[in-house]
Structure 1
Amino acid sequence: MSRYPLDRVRNIGIIAHIDAGKTTTTERILYYTGRIHRMGEVHEGTATMDHMVQEQERGITITSAATTTFWLDHQINIIDTPGHIDFTAEVQRSLRVLDGGVVVFDAVAGVEPQSETVWRQADEYRVPRICFVNKMDRVGADFVRTINMIRDRLNARPVPIQWPIGSESNFRGIVDLLTMEAFVWEEDDLGAAPKLVDIPEEVREDVAAARQVIMEAIVETDDELMMRYLEE
């Protein structure tokens, strides 16, 4: 039985096209929330969520796998779903019980065919979503292009709440657009803690513009806020 009341329990699904990094992302969530003490790797067959022998051998998720972690006085039930088109029905089954979803996108490939499929399914079940742009350190990674693809191909209105510092081999951190704090990683070791730094000069203009988009998106939800925003 859960030690948390229902209003502090969240069922969150990790959904994406195959190889976007769903299971790897889940593994990091479990590590940084203290659920596991060593990060497994999909390509090594040691990922916590890939428990079937076939998954470990092929390096893909075949069935939805669930686990639980805890963060800020909330119980988070995480469901890692398959990304391969052959297992779409498994994703659809999971969507029915979700409070929200994390849609993982490959920063190089952007929106892929199965991304569109699971997005439509999430629309059908009215699942709220946040997007996570993964693999920003890969050759060809482009955060802005990925955001534009989400807007154009998924008919969504993405509002970034973080902004990357660098890309490809120069990717080294992010700016939190809500707190306006910058975090960089100075070590390549798995599990390394980020360092709080001043917002780098090279991204300040982009960060200011992105924060303005957040402000406008927020005030559109409330007439009183809109009036105050326009008056200022």
Structure 2
Amino acid sequence: MVSKKEIARRRTFAIVSHPDAGKTTLTEKLLLYGGAIQVAGAVKSNKIKKTATSDWMEIERQRGISVATSVMGFEYQDTKINILDTPGHQDFAEDTFRTLTAVDSVVVVIDVAKGVEPQTEKLVKVCRMRNTPMMVFINKLDREGKDAFELLDEIEQKLELNVIPLSWPVGMGKNFKGVYNIYYKNLHLFTPGKQVVEAGIRFDDIRDPGLEDYLGDDAERLREEIDLVKGVYPAFSKADYLSGKVSPVFFGSALNNFGVKELLDVFVEIAPPPQGRESDVRFVQPDEEAFTGFVFKIHANMDPNHRDRIAFVRVVSGVFRRNTNYLHVRQNRKIKFASPTAFMAQKKSVVDAVYPGDIVGLHDTGNFKIGDTLTEGEILHFKGIPSFSPELFRYVVNADPMRAKQLAKGIDQLMDEGVAQLFTGKQSGRKIIGTVGALQFEVIQYRLEHEYNAKCRYEPITLYKTAWFVSDNKEQLEDFRMRKRNQIAVDKEGREVFLADSPFALQMAQEKYPDIRFYFTSEF
């Protein structure tokens, strides 16, 4: 069996939030505690050259947002922590949805002033569907914001989470004095601009008159609020958290490195170790002897000098070992990997053994696509790694005829990352790019020019939705293909797709051809 100790000491989680809630800043501070970086990047200013460690693509540095999921691993208190920092921007939600299939728990970051925002609602809904354990970090307490109780009510209503505060703020904005840690029963005082976190002052009983020495008049208010918290919210149960029934809440200011250590310490103590995954054949447990894993992300050009593609694989069971033959289930062939890598943002190091819960990067020459499974020989596929029907479409046109080869290669590789989808018209042969968000068109254009030395431009196309279609009724299928021949394309895998130009056109097709099944995600 795989070393249970190695499995038990791992924590793999994602940080999710609406853009600008402070997610990347929180990631930075967590990395500082793990000694993974020595200085935090100034993510707030695009003018400052020190950008966030997790935002390493050139376009991310320019815009100050995360557009690709970064994977970072570090050690803290004999625990191996793997953070997956996800894009907050809604145009990259698909990347985030897939990343959530590779983690065992989630930290949700909420801005104290803005409260629960739309993108957070969407992402939390995905986590709830999977019963993923969630912690909440309410950020930016050094600024004026919503009342703590009001914010907890908003989280319960909008995110449908049952919250339990494990820390509590003393004031906020200009009057922010610190945080009382309910879980560890100690008080942390806030000093603006001070990045060094000192040990908390122990208060087993907040009735202790010594509290006044630190908080003055705010001491009595803290006592009242803690009494109210204990009266309104149930006592924390680790079992309820692990089953996704309750979500612990912490308060702090990531930019000031305040409240982050408390969050990390409790996280290490209560967050789940690597969990098993459901496959199409059976449930796979992490402590099984045989290695299994799945590809949840592909990134082209992590090093533009070498044009390399990396497939990110979540190890589900067993131990992944270097230079060992593994079965690529979809292609039904054995592959071995000479230099599997572990990540610290874009810094990579070759590893010999990778345990359940860890993320390993495999150099890829075009063998992998998102959702692929690797095993030691067993035929199984892990479930639930979707590819969505795009919502926005453009014709893509070569803007430099001398660079047709580079453009074709660039589009081919970028589509493998899953940020967008490519459809080729069966009749016209024209290429159409479909995305979930408008910003992706910009990112694709930028990366084609800067990473592949190819230029493209876009032309408009009127499209409502794409739908994959299959049928056992050959007559209906042939009739549909003939009548809709100008509205049929093939995707990158050669599967036929119906290009519906309006909701009415799609509805009519569904009614007229009842034996044809139309799908809006590629998992069918």
TM range (shorter): 0.7 to 0.9
**Structure 1 residue ranges without an equivalent (≥5):** 222-232
For 1:32, the equivalent position in structure 2 comes to 33
Does residue 23 of structure 1 match 2:42?
no
For 1:205, the equivalent position in structure 2 comes to 224
Equivalent pair of 2:176/2:190 in contact (CA under 8 Å):
no
* Bigger mean CA offset, 191-200 vs 68-77: 191-200
Deviation at 1:170, TM superposition (A): 1.4
CA distance in 1, matches of 2:239, 2:228: 17
In structure 2, do the counterparts of structure 1 residues 91 and 39 end up closer, same or farther at CA, with 3 Å as the change threshold?
A: same
SS state of the match for residue 21, structure 2?
coil
* Bigger mean CA offset, 168-177 vs 11-20: 168-177
In structure 2, do the counterparts of structure 1 residues 119 and 186 end up closer, same or farther at CA, with 3 Å as the change threshold?
A: same
In structure 2, do the counterparts of structure 1 residues 219 and 48 end up closer, same or farther at CA, with 3 Å as the change threshold?
A: closer
Equivalent residues in 2 for 1:66-145 (5 A)? 66-145=71-150
Q: Deviations over 1:102-153 (max 9, x none)?
A: 0000000110000100001111222110000001112334322221111111
In structure 2, do the counterparts of structure 1 residues 5 and 135 end up closer, same or farther at CA, with 3 Å as the change threshold?
A: same
Does residue 196 of structure 1 match 2:200?
yes
For 1:226, the equivalent position in structure 2 comes to none
Q: Deviations over 1:59-103 (max 9, x none)?
A: 100000010122221100001001111000011011001110000
Aligned length: 218
> Given residue 24 of structure 2, which amino acid in structure 1 is its aligned partner?
T
For 2:164, the equivalent position in structure 1 comes to 159
Q: TM-score, normalised by structure 1?
A: 0.86
CA distance in 2, matches of 1:123, 1:220: 16
* Bigger mean CA offset, 61-70 vs 172-181: 172-181
In structure 2, do the counterparts of structure 1 residues 220 and 56 end up closer, same or farther at CA, with 3 Å as the change threshold?
A: closer
Identify, as 1 or 2, the structure richer in helix. 1
For 2:59, the equivalent position in structure 1 comes to 54
Deviation at 1:194, TM superposition (A): 3.3
Does residue 176 of structure 1 match 2:181?
yes
RMSD: 2.2
Identify, as 1 or 2, the structure richer in strand. 2
Larger Rg, first or second structure (1 or 2): 2
Equivalent pair of 1:63/1:81 in contact (CA under 8 Å):
yes
For 1:227, the equivalent position in structure 2 comes to none
In structure 2, do the counterparts of structure 1 residues 70 and 208 end up closer, same or farther at CA, with 3 Å as the change threshold?
A: farther
Equivalent pair of 1:81/1:94 in contact (CA under 8 Å):
yes
For 1:11, the equivalent position in structure 2 comes to 12
* Bigger mean CA offset, 23-32 vs 34-43: 34-43
Q: TM-score, normalised by structure 2?
A: 0.40
Deviation at 1:209, TM superposition (A): 2.8
Deviation at 1:219, TM superposition (A): 10
In structure 2, do the counterparts of structure 1 residues 220 and 68 end up closer, same or farther at CA, with 3 Å as the change threshold?
A: closer
Deviation at 1:33, TM superposition (A): 2.6
Equivalent pair of 1:49/1:65 in contact (CA under 8 Å):
yes
Structure with more relative contact order (C-alpha pairs < 8 Å, separation 6 or more): 1
